[in-house]
Amino acid sequence: MTIPNDEIERLIRAEHWDPFSILGPQPSGEGSGTMVRVFLPEAVEVVLMPDGAAGRAVPMRAVQDTGVYEVHLPQGAPPGYRLRVTDRWGNVSERHDPYAFPPLLSDFDLHLFAEGRLYQAYDRFGAHLRTVTGVPGVHFAVWAPNARRVSIVGDFNGWDGRRHAMRSRGATGLWELFIPELPEGTLYKYEIRPQDADAAFLKADPYAFAAELRPKTASIVRDLSKYQWGDRAWMDERGRRDSLAAPMAIYEVHLGSWARVPEEDNRWLTYRELAAKLIPYVTGLGYTHVELMPITEHPFDGSWGYQTTGYFAPTSRHGPPEEFMAFVDACHRAGLSVLLDWVPSHFPDDPHGLAWFDGTQLYDHHDPRLGYHPEWHSRIFNFGRVEVRNFLLNSALFWLDKYHVDGLRVDAVASMLYLDYSRQPGEWIPNQFGSHENLDAIEFLKEFNIVVHRDHPGVLTIAEESTAWTGVSRPTYAGGLGFSLKWNMGWMHDMLRYFSLDPVYRKHEHNHITFGLLYAFTENFVLVLSHDEVVHGKRALLDKMPGDLWQKFANLRALYGYMYGHPGKKMLFMGGEFGQWCEWNHDASLDWHLLEQDSHRGLHQWVRDLNRLYRTEPALHEVDFEWNGFQWIDYNDWEQSAVAFIRRARNADDFVVCACNFTPVPRHGYRIGVPAPGRYRELLNSDAAAYGGGNVGNLGGVEAEPVFWHGYSYSVCLTMPPLAVVFLKPS
C-alpha cells in the first residue's frame, strides 16, 4: 500500500489533522500483515528494529523524496519496535515511534471533560512523564477544538511542526500525543494551525507546570511527584481547624520586592532563600498567615503577577517548582499558613498565552463588550463555557493539591460579578433578564467554592470584592457565593481617609470610625491595609499620616491598634510593619535600613506585640463575625475624637476593653463604663516608650469604681494617651 500523494502533501505542509490514520502501524492493503510508516524529514536511512529478540531489523523504504518511510511486515508489526535513524549529517540514533502508542486519555476522561467535571484534569492535560508499555516518555494533551492541526515542538525536534502532530480526540477538541524518551526539563510549545489561516503559530501550554524566565516563553516538562513533603501533621490538622474562630493575622508580601540581593545585580531571592529569611521574619512578628501576591507565571513584572499566563506554574523568577514546594513545606513546619492570590477574572493578550489560543477567542468572548476589560486591557474569561470553567477550577484545585496551599484569595471578584464593571452605558450587554449581573460568573464562583471546600476541608477562600453584593461569604445553600471570607474594602478606605486628616478636623468625620460597625457582621470580613493603598501616588501608610514625625508614628500605631481591636481578621502589606516611607516599588527591596532608627523599631515592636496579644486573647479573635463578640461602650464622643468598646470571647465573661484617643491631646480623668468590678490591667498601650511614644498611661492598670457610666454599673477613670489605643482586661 502506497500513501496517496495528497496525504503526503498534508504531512509535508503540516496540515494533516489525523496523522495516526497514516503513520505508525496500519492495516496492510496487501491482504495480511501490517504497514509501518514514519515521517522523518531529516533522515537518509531508517531501519525498523523490533524490541528484544522478537525478529530481525528491517530497512524501511523511502517514499519518493518526502521524508516518509514505510515497510510492509507480512507477519504483523512487533509489539514494540525502535527506529534506527541516520540523518543527513551522518548522525545515527535510535528512538521509539510516537505513532506506535495508543491514546492515553480514557473515554471517561473525555466524558467528564465535556461535562466540565474533570476536576483533576491537571493530572492528564499538559505534559506528564509517563511510562507506556515499558517505554518512558512524555504524554502531552491540550484543548484546541477549532484547530486544523496541533503539533508539539521544541529543541528535541528542531521546532519543526511537521514532526510530532498530535492525535485528535474528536468532538471534545482535545489533542494528545505520547513522545517516547523525552526527559524532564524539555522545552516545548504547541504549534497550532487554525482552520481559517495558512500560517501556524506557537502557544505555551495552558497546563504547563513550569515556564522559562521572561522574556522567554517556552513551557518546561516538570515532574511534581518527586518532592517529599514533611507537613503531614499540618495537613491532617488543617481539616479539623475552625479557622473562622482562630486568630488570623496575615502578612501580605510580594516575593520579588520583599528583599533583594543588591551585591548580585539586585537579583530576586530564590524560594529557598525566602524560606530561610521570610518565614522566620513573619513568624517572629507573630503573624499566622502569609499571603503571596500572585506567583503564577507572568511575563510582565509590572503586573505584579495579576496578568497571569501560567495558571499551573509557579514563576521561575525564584526557582523551580520543587523549591516552591519546599517553601510551602517550611511555612507549615513553622506553623505558618500560606495563602495565594489567584486571578480567574481576566488574562493578558500576550501572543504565547490564552488569547486566540486556537485561532479563535477560545477562552474569552468574541464581543468586546463581554470579553475585553477596559480598565486592565485584558481578556475576560467566558464563564459560560464548561471547558473554560473546568480549566479555572483545575487551576484552583491544583495549588491546593500539589502545593498544599492553605487558601486562595480571589482577585477582582467585583469585576466578575457585574457585566457593567468599569464600563459606560452602551459598552456592555445586559443578561437575559435585562440586568447587569454576570450570571455565568456567579455560577462559576459558587461551583468554585463548593468544590474547593468539599475536596479540601479547612482551606480558605477569600474574595476581594469591593461592592455591596450580599452574601459573598455566606454558604451557597443559603443563597451566598460560598467564600470563607471577604476583604473589607470599605473599612480600609474609611480608616485611611480618617487617619489622613489633621486631628483638629476628625471630630467632623467621626462617622468614618463608627460606620463600619453598621455592617461588620453582614459578612466574614478581613480588615485589610493592602498593597493597592501604597502605590500609584497614594503614598506609603506612614506618609499618609498627618503631623510632625512623632505624630505620624503615633497615628500609625493608633490605626494598627484600632484595627486589632475591631472585629474581623487582619491583613497588613509588607513594609507597613516598620513604617516604610516610600511607596512600594516592585523593582526594589523594602527599605530595611529604616529599622536602624528608634521610631521604626518601635513601630515594628508594636506590631509584634499586637500580634502576640491578638493570638493569646480569645476575646480578640474567637467571635469576629457576630454581634455577641462586640459591644460599644461609647461611640458618640465625636467632640474628643474618642471611642471605647468591648470585645468578648465565646465565654462572655472573658473580655477585653479597647479605648482610643485619636487626638494629640492627653485626656486625664477620662471615664468609661465597664461591665464588671475589679482591677483592669493595661495589656497594651501604643504610647509606651518602647514603641516610640511619650509613656503616658495608667501605671499598669486602674480600679473599677461603682459609678454608673455609659449604661454600666461600674466605670474606670483613665488617662488617655495622645493619638493612642489602650487595651485593658480585668484581672
The total of other beta-carbon atoms located within 10 Å of residue 390's CB is 22
Q: Are 339 and 328 in contact (CB under 8 A)?
A: no
Residue 290's DSSP bridge partners are 251, 338
Q: Are 404 and 410 in contact (CB under 8 A)?
A: no
| Known catalytic residue at 364 | no
Closest CA to 388 of 351, 434, 422, 355: 355
Task: Give every CB contact of residue 258 below 8 A, 6+ residues apart in sequence.
Answer: 269, 274, 278, 574, 589, 590
Question: Which cell numbers in the block locate residue 189?
Answer: 510549545
CA distance 164 to 152: 6
Question: Which cell numbers in the block locate residue 658?
Answer: 479597647
Candidates 70, 205, 358, 411; catalytic one:
411
Closest CA to 188 of 225, 149, 215, 151: 151
Q: Are 547 and 664 in contact (CB under 8 A)?
A: yes
CA distance 231 to 467: 38
CA distance 231 to 241: 15
Q: How is 319-380 classified by DSSP, letter by letter?
A: --HHHHHHHHHHHHHTT-EEEEEE--SEE---TTSSTTTTSS--SB-SSHHHHEETTTTEEE
Candidates 205, 252, 464, 494; catalytic one:
464
CA distance 324 to 167: 34
| Known catalytic residue at 465 | no
Helix H or strand E segment including 511: helix 511-514
CA distance 290 to 248: 10
Q: How is 631-664 classified by DSSP, letter by letter?
A: EEEEEEEGGGTEEEEEEE-SSTT-EEEEEEE-SS
Residue positions annotated with a catalytic role: 411, 464
